[in-house]
A and B are shown apart, each in its own frame.
Chain A
Amino acid sequence: MNIQAIYVKSQPSEELASPALDNLLRDLDARFVKTLQEPLNAILYGIYKAYLIKSMGGNRVQQAR
């Protein structure tokens, strides 16, 4: 058997990742809902949000959108 090429039909991984990231960010918002207005908590919220976006490949997701 002489296979020349294999084609895989799928969605780009960024598109698959985005709903999961949206859910994680929604959960994060819910956890911080009572203390987000406080400066130190706002810093921590920003760090976690950036971390989640980075760890889920979210920069590419947002660029793709």
Chain B
Amino acid sequence: MDTKTLPTLPSVIRKLNTLSDNEKSSVQEMAKIVSSDQVLSARILRLANSPSYGFYRVSTITNAMILLGVNVVKSLAIASSIFAAMEKDSVGLWEHSLGVGVAANLIARKLGLPECEEIATAGLLHDIGKVLIRIKCSDAENDIIEFAYQQQTFTLDAEREIINTDHAEVGGWLANSWFLPDKLIEPIAFHHDVARSENYRTKTAVVHIADILIKASGFGNSGDNFVPSIQQIAWDTLQMNETILSELVEEVEDKLIEVRNFCQEMMSN
């Protein structure tokens, strides 16, 4: 993979990183930096009002930082180039990602977990590795799709066979290179292997289950035709049971109607 031309951090984000590392910086100062880039601000506000965080109405970057947290706004800003690529060329994957963001948020709220917005962001970003593979290795991506279809196997296995790595590893590596916080890197890197998530296993387990719920629902297109195995460690970590899962399925399906409308709205703009 060509690593020299990875999506880079805009100067706005570099300034934001510097400010957010300084404990004395105020939310207003950070919001002012982001607001100086109108395209970026518009994109962040659109995402902040997407069903993934659909419990608020966010009209300014300052509001977004207060309601969703600086980490979430920073991550959305950093990943905006990937989101733009998804919206343009990978609508099915974009729908899947939004769906996983929604499901992750609902799971986190149902289980009373802290940092629901950050968990939703991890859900939204969990497949960024797939976008990078598509952008940087489009020939290999075609081989991956062909292999998965011919062998009737999971995309993850096809990726390992064809490019000797997988989208979770690539996504984790990209998130790391962008200096995203570990609480986002681990769910991205280990959403297919929850046991390897040591420091943020609960968040990783939520994204793992959210991904499976959306695949089971058939919403969007992750590139996989099959529902992966629910890992016992994720089930145990979240103390999941059939009743909770059943309630979650209904809540997620209700919310997916909003996601579908949101995606259609975006396509028509």
Contact = CB atoms under 8 A, between A and B. Distances in A.
What secondary structure prevails in chain A residues at the interface with B?
Answer: helix
Interface of B: 152, 154, 212-213, 215-218, 225-230, 232, 235, 242, 245-246, 249-250, 253
Interface of A: 27-28, 30-35, 38, 40-41, 43-45, 47-48, 50-51, 55
Interface-centre pick from A27, A38, A40 (highest chain B CB count, 10 A): A40
A28 B232 CA distance: 22
A44 B217 contact: no
B226 A48 contact: no
A28 B225 CA distance: 10
B230 A38 contact: yes
A44 B217 CA distance: 10
A56 to B, nearest CB: 12
Given A31-B216, A40-B235, A51 B227 contact: no
Contact of B229 (A41, A43, A47, A55): A41
Contact of B250 (A33, A44, A51): A51
Given A31-B225, A35-B226, A35-B228, A55 B253 contact: yes
Contact of A31 (B226, B230, B245): B226
Contacts of B218: 27-28, 31
A49 to B, nearest CB: 10
Given A47-B242, A47-B245, A32 B253 contact: no
